[in-house]
Amino acid sequence: MASLPKRIIKETERLASDPVPGIGAEPHEDNLRYFAVTIEGPKESPYEDGIFELELYLPDDYPMEAPKVRFLTRIYHPNIDRLGRICLDVLKNNWSPALQIRTVLLSIQALLASPNPNDPLANDVAEDWIKNEELAISKAREWTTLYAEKK
Amino acid sequence: MNCYPEFTCRLSTSRDEINFRWSRTKCELAKKFPGSPEVPAMADERERYFKDELDSSQEREKHEFKLNGGSFLFGPDREEPVGAATPMDVSESGLYTSAGSDIQSQKDLAEECLQEEFEQVHGEVRVPDYMSQIRQIIPGMDLEVARRLVEKYQDGRDVVSKAISEYFEEGPVAENKKPGNSNSPMSGSSGNDSGDGNNRSFGGLFVARGKRHKEITPRPAKRLKSGIEWRKFIGSLQVNAMATRPTLRPLKYGSELEIIKSSGGVPTSKLYNANGRKRVSMASFVKIFDTQQNREIGRLPEDVAQIVYPLIDTDDVIFEATMVFCENKRLSIGDGFVLQLDCFLTSSIFDEDKDGEHISSQSVRWGSNNSMVETEEELQSRSKKVGLLSLFDKLRLRIVDDNTDDMGGSTTNDDDDDVEVIDLDNENNQDEKLDSIVSGEDDEVRRLSSQEEGVMNLNQLKVFYKATQSSDSLKTLPETEPPSNTINLSLRKYQKQGLTWMLRREHEFEKAADSQGFQNIDGNMMNPLWKCFKWPKDMSWTAQRIQDHAETDLGKFFYANLHTGEFCLEKPVLKTLMKGGILSDEMGLGKTISALSLIFTSPHDSSSVDKHLFTSGNEDEGLSLPSSQSSKKPYAPKTTLVIVPTSLLSQWHSEFTKFNNSPDLYCEIYYGGNVSSLKTLLTRTKNPPTVVLTTYGIVQNEWTRILKMNRRDADMDSTTGLFSIKFYRMILDEGHVIRNRTTSTSKAVMDISSNCRWVMTGTPIINRLDDLYSIVKFLKLEPWAQISYWKMFVSDPFERKDYRQAFDIVNAILEPVFLRRTKQMQDIDGRPLVELPPKQVVVEKLTFNETQNTIYRHYLEEAETSVKKGLARGDLFKKYSTILVHILRLRQICCDVRLLGTQDENDEDLSKSNQLFKESLDVDRIYRKVGFDEKSDRLDLECLDAIKSKIQEKYPTPDSLKMLECSICTADPIELHKVLFTECCHSFCEDCFKEYFEFQRQKELDLKCPNCRELINKNYFFTLVLKGGEAPQVVPVREVAKPAKIEALLKHCTMLQETSPGQQIVVFSQFSSFLDILETELTNAFLGNGVKIYKFDGRLNLKERATVLEGFSTKDFDNQKVLLMSLKTGGVGLNLTCASHAFMMDPWWSPSMEDQAIDRIHRIGQMNQVKVTRFIVENSIEEKMLKIQERKRTIGEAMDADEEERRKRRIDEIQMLFE
């Protein structure tokens, strides 16, 4: 593996020294490009009180290429599928090298706060969401308690 | 000679060649298929042919006699067939000596005679077909011998081949019967030994061959003219003469005739045209006289007359003619008769020039007709020479290979002329040589046949070097340890050997190891102009029939210089009195060290210094030379003059000082003006400098000055400088500098006097074989130093593609004076001479930046159009220099567009006055012209201005510019010289953005600003330009974009600085203006931060060079040192082993030049692995140049025969470039 670019080191340091509230990201011991991430469910969202685990990987071309992020914790969300894949523009075409791990994770947190069923990844969830938002939200809450409860 | 089963004499010359070939082919056949039935068949045919020809003897001009009986010249055992015409009286057998039974020999004799009469004898001979077969194969074989052989083998199979192999293997015992016999009186009835040495003892069987003799007129042994001590037989000709006077009676067999020249006083000049061709028929001037009756009887055929005519009256050659056949009838006018013409060389031809300097007289002989009409005398001597040559040719005197005769006759077969097995191929070559010397007319043929000259060129240089380095003898050279009291240096093994060699070359035998009694260093290499000939067995009429024939014992060989017509009995050894030589060790083997060790080992001319002290106890007396001697230059016996390229001056000086261990020795640098009188300094002071160090430039300068002065005032005393003294020793470092002898530098150098002369060069041949000539001339290596010789023996053969001859001669010239070792050579223990740390050469492919790319495409198009036009019209050659300019531009763009418009200082083919250069080259203008059309151009400019002011508004103060942050690498702040602004005024590091840019381009994604995601235009990037002290200026990037190579170099330097600080780095480029750019760029990039930059190019003077080199080579762990080196200036001689990293910024046409440069670093003294990075721009002309380099590496570029071919090749290359 290529040596770690300064930028990654710098980001990692800053994530540790100046963490984003509600977000934790720690590089793996063996691979500094692989991060274990935790995101607290945003307040006043169906995911409140849940702690969601994610994995984040910085590809070799980072920061030219977006980091790869995936939910490990099951979540009921129209933009996140059963495998934990996230549908988020900044992780795709709207990536810019000016973005960082921190900003990406913030975006994900924001996505939890405002699901967008019109641009779904998990179609069944999105359908539920559109048909009966309340039911969907309660199901999301249920899942949060079930899978992402604080320990 | 035995391989010619026949010899043809003819009146018409046209068929000679064919007959000759025919006979040779047959000979080969006979050798290959001994005993094959074809051979006798052919023989029969030939006999028939002969008869037919005889019958049709009316047509005299076309008349051809084919005489069976083998090589009548040297075939000692065959009698001429003429005997057939006269009745044979066997009762004359009182003449026989017989060791065998009389009857037997008589029977043999009968056989022989019968055969010679071309009768069908087969029935009568016991084993007829075997006999004749064997004798077809070995025409000279004794009948008796043949019969014995057949008898021995006839019961088995393969009779003939067995017989033949026994014949060759057993090797008839040498006929060493000393000429005691031949001195026996003629009257003695037991007398005829039939010529000493004609008898053969074979397989223990001694056979005295019966000799048939006719009633011959007793002939007294001829008295030789006074002044001629001896004569020696060289061959006989069977000549068909034509009677010009009727005779009353048939001429007797064996009657003596005389060849008389009867030009009637016509001067030679009338006989020849101005071009040397003979004008009149010679036959009318060469008469045959009957000596007894003293009347003319006939004349020789024209071809023989031509040869004989110029030789008749000279003392050098004696002809003896004997009547052998006239059909036994009286002659009418026009009748043909056959005579034997015996040819002898006399002592007089050997008299001249006994010493080694054979050549000196030559210039008198042939050389002095500078465009003047040849004098009568010269013409005579020339026609004599031609006559001799043709005579030799006609007699088929064979050149003996020099290598084989070195044995001096120690081999057993050596004494027998007849059993020499002749390698036909070899024979072929020899003949060709002789031919080419004689005629040179087959040049056309040669030229035609050498279509595949490219193949011939293949590795010629290698061949040459291989030929000139006789490594085996070098390995065994003893080692000389230089005296430690003068030199502070330990030499390597091969250097010590080299020292021995050099000392020997200077005849300083007592100083060189193991050289006591070693006097003849030159070996006994035969002068290649001379050919060795073996005296043929004396087959002359007199020798065979007359006993009063004292054969002079002259040794087995004689030597002739066929070019000058000189003869000699002793081997003409090449004696080089010259002291000195060429030390041509490969680059990096320490030629400088070797030269220094020579100087330190032998700092003074010992003989001269001693003598000096001895003769003049009072030093002053000895030194104040009388003015009468002033014409002779005073000798400086203690001083060595070393001439070096300017770039090496300081290196030489420092090495001298470094190794000097003696307070008495010192080195003086001569700049021309700094020493008031060199003469006084060197010859009149007690302790003159050991070494005077100067440069080619200074020598040339002084020479031109003196030349001018002399022109103005002939009496001008110009004798204080270099040219006023004779040095003890003179050394040219990088001596190939003088390869062009017409340059004033070469002329100047040659005019300096010195006792010993040395040339040090790793590349004695740069382009042409003739490059060597200058060196030879400098060394005063006679006779080669005369251009006419060199031309005749080296240049001309080479141009004729006769490489073998050219190389042979060059080898012979150089062998004694040339020492070359290569890095690959191994010493006697099989270890390589030099073990160097490994060298890694990496080609790094780069891509153009945008600006470069745009401009490059533009120029490429222009160049391609031009080349295509040239090719289409076929006048590419005329456009040559224009195209070179095109190419140059492309190469410059690969480095930096700012180079456009500068000259290429390395390309001599490029005329500086070329029109294209006059075009003004404003890069910015070009870029705009190339990139945009007029309209958008204006818009574009407006846009740029708008963005610029926007940025300036956003960052109004220099301070605000210092707070910029790069969102890509999160650097904070961005270094000012690396800032890049997008059109949306966002800032990034240049490198980061470039990476982003490349990434997007590769993925074919839109180029958006990372910060605001606006689409952005690559043409509207801005950067900051810092000029010392001023506020940073915002400027469009494309105006200051760093070319790919500079980028790459900076990157490497930074990386090296980070990983291993304090490295020394050498950067080579052929463009000195590029070096300037690099200097600025590097300075800007590092801002003096841990990096020191040195620049070394042709513009520096001596002192500056020394300073630069010294500064660079001093190790400094805190600073990275970068030496910017011009490929041409620094390519040779310098020692830069302190560096282990090199960057080649641009490729050069010839790989050897780059290799040379790399070898500055990778040479003795280098302790570390060497890493060389060559920058090559992808998809550009440079990649194609790499291919051309490859090609050159394989075909040995250095041997381009001449200017024209060189150009032709370059045109090929141009085509390659634009494929």
DSSP B649-678: HHHHHHHHHHHB--TT--EEE--SSSSS-H
| Contacts with B999 from chain A: Cβ below 8 Å | 61, 64-65
Measure A2 CA to nearest chain B CA, in Å.
Answer: 15
- Report the candidate in B762, B779, B738, B778 with the shortest Cα–Cα distance to residue B465: B762
Q: Which residue has the tokens 């004749």?
A: B132
In this complex, do A6 and B969 lie within 8 Å of one another by their Cβ atoms?
yes
State pLDDT tens for residues B973-1017.
777 777 888 888 888 888 888 888 888 888 888 888 888 888 887
Q: Which one is predicted more confidently, B443 or A89?
A: A89
Long-range contacts from A132-138, C-beta under 8 angstroms, 24+ separation: A136/A76, A136/A78, A137/A46, A138/A46
> Do B1011 and A96 lie within an 8 Å CB cutoff?
yes
Distance from CA of A145 to the nearest CA of B (A): 38
Element containing residue B560 per DSSP (H, E): strand B557-561
Query: Rounded to a whole number, what is the largest CA-CA distance in chain B?
Result: 137
pLDDT tens, residue by residue, B484-524: 777 777 777 888 888 888 888 887 766 665 554 444 444 45
CA–chain centroid gap for B1150, Å, is: 21
Cα separation of B155 and B159, whole Å?
A: 8
Q: How confident is the model at residue B571 (pLDDT cuts 50, 70, 90)?
A: low
In the prediction, which pLDDT does B643 show? 92
* pLDDT at residue B827 tops 80: no
- What per-residue confidence (pLDDT) applies to B158? 66
Question: Does an H or E element contain B565, and which?
Answer: none
Rg for chain A, CA atoms, rounded: 16
CB contact under 8 A, A98 and B992: no
Which tokens in the block code for residue B995?
Answer: 């990476």
DSSP state of B91: G
In the CATH scheme, what is the code of domain A6-148?
Answer: 3.10.110.10
Residue A31: CB atoms within 10 A of its CB come to: 11
Interface test with chain A among B964, B965, B967, by most A beta carbons within 10 Å: B967
- Nearest Cα of chain B lies from the Cα of A148 at a distance, in angstroms, of 34
A19 neighbors A35 (Cβ within 8 angstroms): no
Instruction: Tell whether the model's pLDDT for residue B860 goes beyond 50.
Output: yes
Exposure of B117 by Cβ count < 10 A (0-12 exposed, 13-18 middle, 19+ buried)? Answer: middle
What are the C-alpha distances in Å from B346 to residues B199, B340, B352, B381, B554? 26, 19, 12, 17, 11
Top pLDDT among B957 and B919 is at: B957
Chain A positions touching B1013 (Cβ under 8 A) are 94, 96
| Contact residues on chain A for B1008, CB-CB shorter than 8 A | 96
Q: In chain A, what residues touch B967 (CB-CB under 8 Å)?
A: 97-98
Arithmetic mean of pLDDT, B1090-1116: 84
Binary contact (B1011, A98; C-beta < 8 A): yes
Note whether B968 contacts A65, CB cutoff 8 Å: no
Give, rounded to a whole angstrom, the gap between the first and last alpha carbons of chain A.
36
Q: What is the mean pLDDT of residues B236-246?
A: 80
Inform me whether the pLDDT recorded for B50 exceeds 80. Answer: no
Would you list the domain boundaries of chain A? Answer: 6-148
Within an 8 Å CB–CB cutoff, is residue A11 touching chain B? yes
Distances (CA, A) of B908 to B19, B535, B1016, B1147: 54, 55, 47, 17
| Portion 79-138 of A in contact with B at CB < 8 A | 94, 96-100
> Please, which residues bridge with residue B342 across strands?
B236, B320
Contacts of B1186 (CB under 8 A, 6+ apart): B843, B1147, B1176
Rounded Cα distance, B999 and A59, in Å: 13
Read off the pLDDT of each residue in B1107-1126 and give the average, rounded to a whole number: 85
State the burial class of residue B533 (Cβ atoms within 10 Å of its Cβ: 0-12, 13-18, 19+): buried
Residue with tokens 């984040």: A56
Residue A42: CB atoms within 10 Å: 17
Cβ contact A38:A51 at 8 Å: yes
| Chain-chain contact of B970 with A64 (C-beta, under 8 angstroms) | no
Lowest mean pLDDT among A78-82, B372-376, B969-973, B1116-1120: B372-376
CA distance B918 to A94: 52
Q: Which residue has the higher pLDDT, B204 or B278?
A: B278
Q: Which two tokens stand for residue B975?
A: 């270094």
pLDDT band at B687; cut points 50, 70, 90: confident
Structure tokens given for B942: 């407006």
Q: How far is A76 from chain B (nearest CA, A)?
A: 31
pLDDT tens sequence across B392-440: 777 777 666 544 333 333 333 333 333 333 333 333 333 333 443 333 3
Q: pLDDT-derived band of residue B75, with 50, 70 and 90 as boundaries? A: very low
Place of tokens 């060429």: B582
pLDDT, tens only, A62-100: 888 889 898 988 888 888 888 888 888 888 888 888 888
- Give the per-residue pLDDT at B1143: 92
How high is the pLDDT of residue B546? 55
* Res. B939: pLDDT tops 70: no
- Which among B968, B971, B1011 has CB closest to A63? B968
Q: Which residue has the higher pLDDT, B324 or B1110?
A: B1110
φ/ψ of residue B389, rounded to 5: -60, -45
Residue A150, chain B, CB below 8 Å: the answer is no
In chain A the beta strands, taken as DSSP E runs, fall at 23-27, 34-40, 51-57, 68-71
For residue A87, indicate whether it is catalytic.
yes
Lowest average pLDDT, out of B287-296, B357-366, B769-778, goes to B357-366
- In sign, the C-alpha dihedral spanning B5, B11, B16, B19 is negative
H runs (alpha helix) in B1041-1093: 1044-1059, 1072-1086
Q: Residue B836: name the closest of B1162, B1159, B495 by CA.
A: B1162
Distance separating alpha carbons of residues B727 and B757, to the nearest angstrom: 9
Give the pLDDT confidence score for residue B421 in this predicted structure.
32
ipTM: 0.87
- CB-based contact (8 Å) between B994 and chain A? no
The answer to whether the CB atoms of B999 and A65 lie below 8 A apart is: yes
Token output for B398: 């064979």
Rounded CA-CA distance B200/B72 in Å is 17
Contact predicate B645/B695, CB 8 Å = yes
The CA distance from B1166 to B587, in Å, is 14
Q: Give the nearest partner residue to B968 out of A61, A65, A97, using CB atoms.
A: A97
Residues pairing with B730 in the sheet: B641, B757
Tokens 């801005």 sit on residue = B1022
- The structural domains of chain B, ordered by start, are 231-349+386-395 (no CATH), 493-524+576-607+633-821 (3.40.50.10810), 941-1036 (3.30.40.10), 1044-1217 (3.40.50.300)
Q: Answer for the pair A98, B1011: CB distance below 8 angstroms, yes or no.
A: yes
B1126, B1070 in Cβ contact below 8 A?
Answer: yes
Tokens 């007592």 found at: B510
Options A56, A58, A87, A148, the catalytic residue: A87
